[in-house]
Amino acid sequence: MPPKIHASSVEVKNSPLHGRGLYAAEPFRKGRLIGTYPLLILNPEDTKRLKKTRLYHYVFYVDENETGAMRSAVAFGMISMCNHSRTPNASFTVDAANAVVKLKASRAIKAGEEILIDYEDFADEAI
């Protein structure tokens, strides 16, 4: 059975980093699940086509096949509003088997603080 789709107390607000961002509406302790969001997993051909679109900046890396062709996924829900940081306060895990992505606090996050993830620079190199 796939994991339950779950989103805790978060909100989208204007971000000084880049347009809009995802913010904690309540404090999160380190390790707490912030949300579980559904994914639409794309094949390598569709992933490659996305590079020419704005949507490309919002996909998550899923995996690569033996030839290095990459699959990506579009996440539905507010996780798509997370901005990038090399010093993130949250991390994500893609679960391709269940077509979900989980967002967790990697350190304590205060209410009102922007939730940031490391995009891991996969997109520029792999597609």
Tell me, yes or no, whether 114 lies in a domain: yes
Token pair of 117 as six digits: 């993830």
- Provide the whole-model pTM: 0.85
**CATH number of the domain bearing residue 106:** 2.170.270.10
| Beta strands 114-117 and 83-84, pairing class | parallel
- Which two structure tokens, joined as six digits, stand for 67? 């030839």
82, 113 Cβ separation under 8 angstroms: no
Domain extent at residue 92: 6-126
The domain total for the chain is: 1
pLDDT tens readout for residues 104-126 = 999 999 999 999 999 875 444 43
- What DSSP character marks residue 65? -
User: For 44-96, what is each residue's pLDDT tens digit?
Assistant: 999 999 988 988 888 999 988 888 889 999 999 999 999 999 999 999 999 99
Residues in the chain: 127
